[in-house]
Chain A
Amino acid sequence: MSSIAALAEILRSNLEQNLADPEAFEIERELQEDAIEPIPDLGFPVALPDLNPDGSTTPKP
């Protein structure tokens, strides 16, 4: 387990860097997440239904 010390230092320094600049971390995470598409076969619509003024919705064909 000689790599534990090296691993510990990587975790500690990553934490230090990302806590100091969380914005940069979150932007990169967001880019990664944006590249992921949800599973398509769950019965979720691909288009939002129209929202009527009274709060009801009209499904798109």
Chain B
Amino acid sequence: MIDWREELHPRARGRFAEKEAARATEALATLADVKNMREYRERASTHPIVREPTTPPPAGRPAYNPDIRRDDNDDGIADRSRVGLGGRDTVPPGEIPRLPNLTEHEREVESRFADAYERDPQAKVDAYRATVKNNVFNTDDAKMLSPDYNPPKEMGMSREEVNDLRSRNNVLVHQTANAIAKTAFLQRLDELPPGSSVLVTSGGCAAGKTYATGHIEQAKALESLVGATWDAAGEQNSTENPWILDECRARGLKPIFSFVDADPLARWSSDHPHGVIERAAGKGRMVDARLFADSYAEGAKNFAAFHAAHKDDPDVGFILIDVRTDPVVPRLLESFPEVALRTDADEIYAQASRIVDEKPGLNPAIRRGATVGRRIWGSP
């Protein structure tokens, strides 16, 4: 039985909003005379969300908090990001990583999906595969299997209530969804005849990867050229590409890796029609600021190293697309965009966090989704 505490009952949006507004007001008050980013960082660490009590993972399960720059095989590509599985990992066998520093309610949401997957992984993979369109595999789509992210229709929740759930619970269901999508993708690769092409899309959160693979009709055109598409979650920081290359080579498949390069702050801003905040207002799924920043800075470094190592391999293709111009006019690039490598994750994290803190009218669920990482991984 779920205990809808802390104003988390969907019909308690007003109460939840009141509480979040109080937290936001407290946070904003501490920023009143902030003059620069150094001062902002000092104050950001006092945000009320940081003080919320936490519940550890289930007994015997260590919290998953990897060094996202660790590179054990020295290939220039980090082994893990903060969420999802390790770049080269799939489950089964194994267990779903459990995040550090979750509240009791957040831990419940994480456990509900992860425990169910661990009890019967293939059933969840089968359920996800039944929803896959045009052979495009995507971690975000697999989140739809979680009722904490996609509540049953019988509950009669409004679009706004559903969006609130998605903004609050996005990061909590990410690990399991990534495991489901990776396993499903591997099973699709097993079905492809040797020589088939496989498309992989990489880039920061909301850079435009999913826009590139397109909606149904556009994706059909893609499907005529590739046997499967891995529409990577930005939060994985392009750590999965070596795994995909190995899995493709083991099956005689030809992978094509694409990278969409976008300006991170333009993609975060609520003033931008394609921004993360704007997207969350329309359809939920708010991305935490820490993960967002990593996805651009670490993701670019990891992809650049992968590109440099394999750009001349005869069995590997690359497509690089720039969407930094304003207004956006996507253009194909001949070489990896150096500007992407100058992105500083901590700087973007601080700037993105400050935008959220200084926006008093922001939807409270979006605010929570954007700032929960301060408790989970630390303040800007």
Q: Which residues of A contact B (CB under 8 A)?
A: 1, 3-4, 6-12, 14-19, 22, 24-26, 28-30, 32-33, 35-49, 51, 55, 57, 59
B62 within 8 A of A: no
Minimal Cβ-Cβ distance residue in B for A11: B212
B289 within 8 A of A: no
A–B complex contacts, Cβ < 8 Å, 29 sampled:
A4-B256, A4-B317, A7-B197, A7-B226, A8-B332, A9-B332, A10-B214, A10-B218, A11-B319, A12-B332, A15-B211, A19-B211, A19-B323, A19-B328, A22-B273, A22-B274, A25-B215, A26-B279, A36-B150, A42-B116, A42-B146, A42-B147, A43-B112, A44-B151, A44-B152, A48-B157, A49-B9, A55-B12, A57-B3
Chain B nearest CB, measured from A53 CB (Å): 11
Interface string of B191-209 (1 = CB under 8 A from A): 0000001010100000010
In the complex with contacts A1-B254, A7-B222, A33-B4 CB distance below 8 A? no
Interface string of B47-87 (1 = CB under 8 A from A): 00000000000000000000000000000000000000000
Are the CB atoms of A44 and B148 closer together than 8 Å?
Answer: yes
Q: Which residues of B contact A (CB under 8 A)?
A: 1-4, 7, 9-12, 15, 112-113, 116, 124, 127, 131, 133, 141, 144-157, 197, 199, 201, 208, 210-216, 218, 221-222, 225-226, 254, 256, 258, 260, 273-274, 279, 282-283, 314, 317, 319, 321, 323, 328-332
Are the CB atoms of A10 and B222 closer together than 8 Å?
Answer: yes
Partner pick for A11 among B148, B197, B258, B282, CB 8 A cutoff: B258
Are the CB atoms of B330 and A16 closer together than 8 Å?
Answer: yes
**How far is B96's CA from A59's CA once the two chains are assembled, in angstroms?**
30
**List of B residues within 8 angstroms of A25 by Cβ:** 211, 214-215
**How far is B147's CA from A38's CA once the two chains are assembled, in angstroms?**
5
In the complex with contacts A7-B225, A18-B215, A12-B317 CB distance below 8 A? no
Minimal Cβ-Cβ distance residue in A for B146: A38
Are the CB atoms of B274 and A45 closer together than 8 Å?
Answer: no
**How far is B148's CA from A9's CA once the two chains are assembled, in angstroms?**
38
Minimal Cβ-Cβ distance residue in A for B221: A10
Instruction: How many A-B residue pairs have C-beta atoms within 8 angstroms? Tell me.
Output: 156
Interface majority SS on A: helix, strand, loop or mixed? helix
In the complex with contacts A8-B332, A15-B321, A38-B152, A57-B4 CB distance below 8 A? yes
Minimal Cβ-Cβ distance residue in B for A8: B319
Are the CB atoms of A28 and B216 closer together than 8 Å?
Answer: yes
**How far is B221's CA from A10's CA once the two chains are assembled, in angstroms?**
8
Interface majority SS on B: helix, strand, loop or mixed? mixed
In the complex with contacts A7-B222, A8-B332, A49-B4, A36-B131 CB distance below 8 A? yes
**List of A residues within 8 angstroms of B15 by Cβ:** 55
Are the CB atoms of B2 and A44 closer together than 8 Å?
Answer: yes
**List of A residues within 8 angstroms of B141 by Cβ:** 33, 36
In the complex with contacts A7-B222, A42-B116, A14-B211 CB distance below 8 A? yes
Minimal Cβ-Cβ distance residue in B for A32: B133
Beyond A14-B212, A57-B3: 6 further Cβ-contacts under 8 Å?
Answer: A11-B201, A12-B321, A18-B215, A26-B283, A35-B131, A38-B149
**How far is B322's CA from A32's CA once the two chains are assembled, in angstroms?**
28
Are the CB atoms of A47 and B116 closer together than 8 Å?
Answer: no
Are the CB atoms of B331 and A12 closer together than 8 Å?
Answer: yes
Chain A nearest CB, measured from B281 CB (Å): 11
Chain A nearest CB, measured from B293 CB (Å): 22
Minimal Cβ-Cβ distance residue in B for A34: B153
Chain B nearest CB, measured from A16 CB (Å): 5
Partner pick for A39 among B4, B146, B208, CB 8 A cutoff: B146
Partner pick for B208 among A15, A24, A33, A36, CB 8 A cutoff: A15
Partner pick for A15 among B154, B197, B226, B330, CB 8 A cutoff: B330
Chain B nearest CB, measured from A24 CB (Å): 8
